[in-house]
Amino acid sequence: MRIGLTILIAVVLVSCSGTDSESDVTVDTNDDQVFEWKLVTTWPKNYPGLGLAPENFSKKVAAMSNGRLQIKVFGAGQLVPAFEVFDAVSQGTAQVGHGASYYWTGKSKATAFFTSVPFGLNAQEMNGWLHYGGGLELWRELYDEFNLIPFAGGNTGVQMAGWFNREINSMEDIKGLKMRIPGLGGDVITRAGGVSVTISGGELYTAMQTGVIDALEWVSPYNDIALGFHQVAKYYYYPGWHEPGPTLELIINKDAYATLPSDLQAIVETAARAVNQDMLDEYTARNNEALISLVETHGVQLRKLPDEVIAELRSISMDMFDELANDSDIAKRIADSVKSFQQQATAYHEISEEAYYNARKQN
C-alpha cells in the first residue's frame, strides 16, 4: 500500500502549523520507507523464554519505528531449519536470526566463547564483558567474515546441571552415562568417560522415558517443567557448571543493517539491549516459581553434584579452554580477553555478590 502524496502533504501542513506547546520546531524523519524483514530462530515459535525474545524484539522495534521496520518472526523449521539460521542470515535469506553462538562451532570453534563456557562467566559478568570488557568487539570481528553483526539477545542465567536417572556420587558414575548435553559441556562429559548425545528438545522426553539416555540437560525450572522431565527422571542436579550464563544472540545481516537509516539502526541496537535484559528478568522470576512447583507439588528430588565431581569437571574444562584458545589467532585473543575479565570478576564477586548471598542467609 502506498500512502497518497495528498495525505502526506496534509499531515505535513498539520505538523507545521505550530500548535505544539512544547516546541514549534519540526524535523523531517528523513526516511519514511518501510522495511519488511524476516527473523528466523532456532527455537519453536513462541517457546517460553527463549522464543519470546525474538517476538519481544520485533514488537519493540515496530512500536519504536512506528511501523517503519516490520520484522516477521519465524519459528524453527517455518522458513529454515533451526541449524540453518546462521547461513540464512549470512546469505540474506532472512535479515535477522535469534539463537546461540555455540551452535555454529562448525563455522569457527571460537563462536563457543560467546554463549557460555563451562566454569566461565555468569550472566552479570557476560554482560559486563560484552559491553564494557571488549567482548562485543571481538564477537563482531569474528562474525564479520560471515557478513553478520551480532548483538547479545538474552540470557537464561545459570542453568541446572540437568535431569538424571542415575545418582552421581563420584566420577565413576559419569562413566558410560548417556547424556544429552551439547557444546563444550558435552565434550567435557565425553572426556570424563560419558557419552554425549545430541537430541532435539521435542524428542527428549521420550528418549529419557525409554532409557535411550540416562540424563539430559535442558535449561532451568521455568523451561524444564513445561517439558515434563520430572515425570521421567528421578533426580534434578545442580549447579549448571556447563552453562553458567548463556548469552543468546541476535544476528543481523550486515548489508541489510547498512541499508537502515541511522535512527532505525539505533532502534535495533537499543531493542536488542532491552531484550537481552528482559529475558534474564523473566527467567529470574519464573525459575523461582517453577522450582517451588517442582519440589513442593511434584516432589522432585533436588541433588547437588558432589564437590569431587565438580572439581574434576572443572579440571577437564580448564584443559579444554586452553585447547580452544589455541585453535586460531582470534580464538586466542578472545580466550585471553575473557580469561582476564573472569579473573577480575571472580575476585570482585567473591567480596560482593557471593559474599552478599552468604550474608543474607546467615541465621
Q: Which of residues 188-207 bind a copy of itself (CB under 8 A)?
A: none
Q: Which stretch binds a copy of itself (CB under 8 A): 11-19, 40-48, 206-214, 328-336?
A: 11-19
Strands 235-238 vs 148-155: parallel, antiparallel or unpaired:
unpaired
Distance CA 161, CA 181 (A): 10
- Judged by CB under 8 A, does residue 8 bind a copy of itself? yes
Q: Which of 110, 213, 227, 267 binds a copy of itself (CB under 8 A)?
A: 267
Q: Which of 191, 273, 333, 339 binds a copy of itself (CB under 8 A)?
A: 273
Residue 70 Cβ vs a copy of itself, minimum distance, rounded to whole Å: 9
- Judged by CB under 8 A, does residue 291 bind a copy of itself? yes
Q: Which residue has the cell 528430588?
A: 301
The Cα angle at residue 274 between residues 333 and 342, in degrees rounded to 5:
30
Closest to a copy of itself by CB, 227 vs 291, is 291
Q: Which residue has the cell 517455518?
A: 78
Q: Which of 89, 100, 198, 235 is nearest to 156 (CA)?
A: 100
Q: How many residues bind a copy of itself (CB under 8 A)?
A: 114
Q: Which of 359, 237, 351 is nearest to 305 (CA)?
A: 237
Residue span 42-81 as binding mask against a copy of itself, x where in contact by CB under 8 A, dash where not: ------------------x--xxxxxx-------------
Distance from chain centroid for Cα 67: 26
Distance from chain centroid for Cα 247: 4
- Judged by CB under 8 A, does residue 240 bind a copy of itself? yes
Q: Which of 193, 285, 318, 322 binds a copy of itself (CB under 8 A)?
A: 285
For residues 184-205, one letter each, b for 16 or more C-beta atoms within 10 angstroms of the residue's C-beta and e for the rest, the string is bbbbbbbebebbbbeeebeebb
Cell numbers given for 293: 512447583
- Judged by CB under 8 A, does residue 299 bind a copy of itself? no
Residue 357 Cβ vs a copy of itself, minimum distance, rounded to whole Å: 4
Residue 136 Cβ vs a copy of itself, minimum distance, rounded to whole Å: 10
Residue 231 Cβ vs a copy of itself, minimum distance, rounded to whole Å: 21
